[in-house]
Amino acid sequence: MNEYELLDSGHGRKLERFGEITLDRPCAQAVWNPRRPVLWKTADAFFTRKQGLEWRGRDQLPNSWIAEVNGVRMKLSTTDFGHLGVFPETRAMWDWIRSTLGEATRRRSEPLHFLNLFAYSGGATLAAAQGGAHACHVDASKGMVQWARENATLNALEDHPIRWIVDDVNKFLSREIKRGRRYDAILLDPPSFGRGKGGELYKIEHALLETLELVKKVLTDQPCFVYLTSHTPGFTPIVLKNLLQQLLGQGQVECGEMLLTGADDVFTVPSGTWARFQWM
């Protein structure tokens, strides 16, 4: 089931439906004209960054609500930065992770071990669990890890084998290498800029190569995939593909743009990039 839909975009905005809530938020890449101008009047709330960060109509919304996005039930809430607790451009990736890990589990007759780094509110973690994988969810924000655990409960996965880790990603990976823990499938969505659990600074242009080298060292001898996504300007699909190919060598490498999608007559909106390396 899916309760997300891109209703329209244009004039630097996007109009989206999350369950019963419709929101109007900034979208710099939507430089075209809206195709359904009348529909924008139905928005329940509006977020702008023009004069600071401001929600209009937020007081009319519930503190939180539930929407199912590509088979994963998610708790959503309007944050001060305009985010909601889900990035719907990743939902096609959730489907791929769920089906790929499910097929690999059936083929190997045992659960695969999935590692989600910079894991946010857990959509991909829960999709992997739905595919039968044992998961490890790592994020530097204690609040986001708690949010992800609430999402696990919403999907009746609170007792599934998932490790919930609040930590700096590079420090966590270094410790996993020393512990001898290994993973069959890894997803990472490094931020352009962020801080770790102890205030460690993470800038993607300097830290990503180190992260990828550590990722390589925690792979099992028979890995399934490494999936890399980015919302950083300049990190195009080809850039991500080159990084994975140089790191991992021979294998099947694909790349593309993450997309917000709606009805056939609604313009598709690019929103980030991805590349994945898969062992055959």
What distance in Å separates the CA atoms of residue 86 and residue 75, rounded to the nearest whole number? 9
CATH of domain 4-76: 2.60.40.1180
Query: Residue 94: what residue type?
Result: W
What distance in Å separates the CA atoms of residue 204 and residue 149, rounded to the nearest whole number? 27
The pLDDT tens digits of the residues spanning 236-264 come to 999 999 999 999 998 999 999 999 999 99
Query: Residue 185 is encoded by which pair of tokens?
Result: 């499938």
Any bridge partners for residue 16, and if so which?
A: 6, 23
The pLDDT tens digits of the residues spanning 71-118 come to 999 999 999 999 999 999 999 999 999 999 999 999 998 999 999 999
Give CATH superfamily name and number for 88-278. Vaccinia Virus protein VP39 (3.40.50.150)
Mean pLDDT of 140-163: 97
Q: Do domains 4-76 and 88-278 have the same CATH topology?
A: no
Distance of CA 234 to the CA centre of its chain: 19
- Share in percent of the chain as helix, strand, coil (round to 5): 30, 35, 35
pLDDT of residue 172: 97
pLDDT of residue 51: 83
Residue 234 has pLDDT above 70, yes or no: yes
- Residue spans per domain, the chain: 4-76, 88-278
Distance of CA 55 to the CA centre of its chain: 23
